[in-house]
Amino acid sequence: MRGPHNIWRLIQTGATLERTGAMRSVLDAMEAPAPLRIAARVLGWPLKWLGEKGDPSMPAPSRALTALGPAYIKFGQILSTRPDVVGDIMAQELRILQDKLPPFSVAQAKAAVEAELGRPINEVFSEFSEPVAAASIAQVHKARLVETGEVVAVKVLRPGIERAFRRDIDAFYFSASVIEALSPASRRLRPTDVIAHFEGVVMGELDLRLESASASEFAANTGTDAGFQLPEIKWKYSGRRVMTLGWADGLPLGDNAALDAAGHDRVALSERVLQLFLSHALRDGFFHADMHQGNLKVAANGDIIAYDFGIMGHIDEYTRRVYAEILYGFIRRDYQRVAEVHFEAGYVPADRDVDEFARALRAVGEPIFGMDATGISMGKLLAYLFEVTERFGMETRTELILLQRTMVVVEGVARSLNPNMNIWKTAQPVVEDYIKQSIGPRAIARDLGQTLRVLSRFGPRLPTLVEAALIRQSTEPVKRVDHPWRARVAYVLLGLAVGVGSVLMWQSL
């Protein structure tokens, strides 16, 4: 860490937080003790003139981060997905954080494209527009390919953005270490781990090849989804600092007047956007984690088009099944089963009372089911659920926090299209279908088959593994009474498993 730079950046950050009025919100989110609050006030007030003023029309935290620059804007956007760290109030304020910044010149963008693709730009694009969108990390241009005449979107990283982000991330680590040293209470929020998470997300976004890969995987998963489109990645014209993809031509999903004028069914669109998200999360375990209106359009044929794949969520198969069973249990109002699922998954410590936990879950679910259609919210349900599980000792699971945050955003998009939407009724078919496919006798048989296939791969090595085990057993000191018959039974069962797995694999070929 470069001390002088980090100290100055820390002073500038603190001064900006004080000048914009965001300091109190930050200290509240950290649950800072009184001595730290007093020190921040005493040191911050005289130095606040060194900070940036920001936009007075914005909430204080967003105002401060916007004034401090691109790295802070992106940090705030990521923190908006972590109410477990900053609290619900600040997370809500940060969700409106805008990253629209002044664009860099077309000449710089063209130079970046030529350097990345290794060709003069007029050999690649016959047209290349002024920026149509400028964000904290990159900006987008509308262009036309020389080879095919197709209209495309070209995303170009800001000049010097990698160096600027690394400098500020370095300062973030320094700030986190200072906070942990001065405020022991803040350590439970693991500030250094939060910065490490931020660094991982940003470093991925600074390599547009990774975003292209995410878009390609997402397209492969959703290729058969009715009423859903993704712009095609043009790998030939993409690289680390440039990404080219098909132009998303359609109406903004948030423009209800334009959608009505074009004759689109907003009720159908609201149901589809929610069901698509749940399908991607449950069926694929890979979902668009930034599905706000700005990243969604409606094509002329009524299809929903998604773009901007910088933030994607991933959930493993086991977690998806647990999540589906929890949702399904709430839909059926079977709180005992929801409680049992939490214990079976190890989310809640085994020494807690399952019946007491079920009663706590009933207190979460019943008020929501007593509401009318406009009041029911799956996002709120998950937020309340996390509050209850935290009281019962459940550790924070980052992937579920991101899922819950995205669920809130998607619900907001759906309700903007149809305020009377019944979230549960819309979600039920998707959840039930996943339950049928992934939980039950057919799923158990499929899982067993996959397990046996994995075991069968050890078939050729089985004699060596058994011999090594026997040699190790014979050379180790005897510490207990051995039961050779148990070992023989285990080897026989393993041999049967490998044999059956080999047959299954042979039949599948």
Give tens-digit pLDDT for 386-420: 777 777 877 666 667 778 778 878 888 898 899 88
Q: Are residues 43 and 111 in the same domain?
A: no
- Predicted pLDDT at 509: 42
Domain membership of residue 287 (yes or no) is: yes
Residue 360 confidence (pLDDT) above 50: yes
Domain that holds residue 50: 3-99+163-203
Residues with active-site annotation: 290
Higher-confidence residue of 273 and 199: namely 273
* Of residues 352, 356, 379, the one with CA closest to residue 368: 379
Domain membership of residue 446 (yes or no) is: no
Residue 355 confidence (pLDDT) above 60: yes
Q: Look at residues 417, 439, 461 and tell me which one is the last residue of a structural domain.
A: 439
Q: Are residues 269 and 312 in the same domain?
A: yes
Q: Are residues 199 and 321 in the same domain?
A: no
Q: Are residues 230 and 333 in the same domain?
A: no
- Predicted pLDDT at 481: 46
Top mean pLDDT of 67-71, 123-127, 181-185, 314-318 is at 123-127
Top mean pLDDT of 177-181, 427-431, 443-447 is at 427-431
- Predicted pLDDT at 117: 95
For range 98-124, the mean pLDDT: 90
Q: Are residues 192 and 216 in the same domain?
A: no
Residue 171 confidence (pLDDT) above 90: no
Domains contained in the chain, number: 4
Q: How far is CA 113 from CA 103, 244, 450, 460, in A?
A: 16, 10, 46, 52
For range 219-231, the mean pLDDT: 95
Q: Look at residues 247, 278, 300 and tell me which one is the last residue of a structural domain.
A: 247
For range 317-342, the mean pLDDT: 85
Tens-digit pLDDT profile for residues 255-271 = 999 999 999 999 999 99
Sequence-separated (6 or more) residues with CB below 8 Å from residue 483: none
Residue 125 confidence (pLDDT) above 80: yes
- Predicted pLDDT at 286: 94
Residue 326 confidence (pLDDT) above 80: yes
> What's the predicted TM-score (pTM) here?
0.72
Largest pairwise CA distance in the chain:
83
The 3 state secondary structure assigned to 458-509 is: CHHHHHHHHHHHHHHHHHCCCCCCCCHHHHHHHHHHHHHHHHHHHHHHHHHC
